[in-house]
A and B are shown apart, each in its own frame.
Chain A
Amino acid sequence: MEFAIEIKNLVKKYQNKTAVDDVSFSVKRGEFFGFLGPNGAGKTSTINALTGIGQFQGGEIKVFGFDVVKDYREARRKIGLSPQEFNIDAFVSPRDTLYYVGGFFGMPKKERVKRADSVLRELGFGHEADLPFRALSGGFKRRVMLARAMMHNPDILILDEPTAGADVELRHGLWKILSDLNKKGKTILLTTHYLEEAERLCDRIGIIYNGKLVALESKHELIKDGKSIEEHYLNLTTNGATQ
């Protein structure tokens, strides 16, 4: 079995606080993996360690067999990240943002222009593609985040709360896009606070609480006792996890 992501004994500390405490899990190629947990549980710290944004103090992370520290160039080419916060230059248009980011990943100019056009079309951009980021609606801003992650056609998409703040219509639209991407073979690691979203989209779910992985099962395994993911989640992240 080839793993898209392998995390072994990951430890991430912020001064005296251990944000991620000896966490190990793997994500299979082509899997839709839900990574859940309350605020401050260690989700974003894990994602940061995986993508290079954050350093970590212990453990090992591999992306399609490439170590994210030693073989960082190969590992990063495999990953597209859509972070929680809007971190795009407000004066740059979506088209230009994609053009530059494609360049960062080594795509030649002609290929970048073509790919940006295709990604923007796929995500429903019209004239919005050439407006500055600050002039876009919240929904289109979210789509730019996803488009940027998709631009270099990575094998893995890491989506940190991609539907946060999105209205119902947009959320359903994004679910459809994510589902299609997964069907086309993309491995997706999704964090979300909308448990309905995880239940609908994910094949397997990991729940992190207080820096420790407290559940790691397929969605069907998790809910076979008749309880919803939400019930399991609440049980694990309130009274169950610390026992």
Chain B
Amino acid sequence: MVEAKWIDIGPVEQLPALGARTLPVQGGQEIAIFRTATGSIHALANKCPHKDGPLSQGMVHDTSVTCPLHNWRISLLTGEALGEDKGCVPVIPVKVDAGRIYIERVAALAGVA
């Protein structure tokens, strides 16, 4: 049994390797779910700290994603901008269990009234 702390958002196969998909939160901030080449799953708010670009549409390489708007590189692990750029986007804890992705409820719902 998985505790109610986590929300099941579907099987891992729904995410292409080196790709991402979106998870809208009604009344809250849309989340981007990423998958790296090694299969690890990460979640960030789907908003670049620079100019709100949709990070889910960026290119994933190693453990970072390059924002599609202005090529800022954001760490999937810490949410921080890499290189010269400064800024940070919220990281939402996720885990994979028996082939399904779970997202932490409290963090996912942050900001929902």
Q: Do A and B bind each other?
A: no
**Interface set of B (CB-CB < 8 Å, partner A):** none
